[in-house]
Amino acid sequence: EEGDPGQADAAGIGRILYAALTGRWPDGDGYGLPAAPRIDGRIASPRQVRPGVPRVLDEVVDRTLGNSERHNTRPLRNPAEVADALNSGTTSGRASVVGETADTTGPPPAVLREQTGPG
């Protein structure tokens, strides 16, 4: 719905995710990024621009930018729904974006390599 602040915020999150995943801005040239390509009049999905984008992220972005029909699901209408979809791997039941076994207790591997490298 136009004028709904929650919807506008969800779409803003989707735009930023799209740009982060593709290096393109979904609403034409903007913020120093080239415009997202369009296919049949619609913004190309992140996976159409960068094939390695995880399906879960592709779906979340599409659902925030008005292309939820690509995934046979409903739009995400506010930031809480976007967060829930990212945390749960979307309502389609897929695995979470962050794996259950992810080790978040230590420093990233790059930091470990620097500390244990020759010196």
How does pLDDT run across 49-103, given as a tens digit for each residue? 999 999 999 999 999 998 888 888 999 999 999 999 999 875 455 444 544 444 5
Average pLDDT, the chain: 82
| Residues in CB range of 77: below 8 A, 6 or more apart | 4, 6, 7, 10
- Confidence band of 36 (pLDDT split at 50, 70, 90): very high
The pLDDT assigned to 113 comes to 46
- Confidence band of 114 (pLDDT split at 50, 70, 90): very low
Q: Is the dihedral of CA 67, 69, 72, 76 positive or negative?
A: positive
The two structure tokens encoding residue 36: 């997202």
The closest of 46, 38, 45, 42 to 20, measured between CA atoms, is: 46
Using the predicted structure, report yes or no on whether residue 2 has a pLDDT greater than 80. Answer: no
Classify domain 5-116 by CATH architecture: Orthogonal Bundle (1.10)
The pLDDT assigned to 109 comes to 53
- For residues 10 and 7, give the distance between their C-alpha atoms in angstroms, rounded to a whole number: 5
Q: Is the dihedral of CA 90, 64, 77, 71 positive or negative?
A: negative
Which of the pair, 6 or 3, is modelled with greater confidence?
6
The pLDDT assigned to 106 comes to 56
Helix (H) or strand (E) holding 109: helix 109-116
Using the predicted structure, report yes or no on whether residue 119 has a pLDDT greater than 70. Answer: no
Which of the pair, 38 or 112, is modelled with greater confidence?
38
Global pTM value = 0.71
Q: 3-state class of 83 per DSSP? A: helix
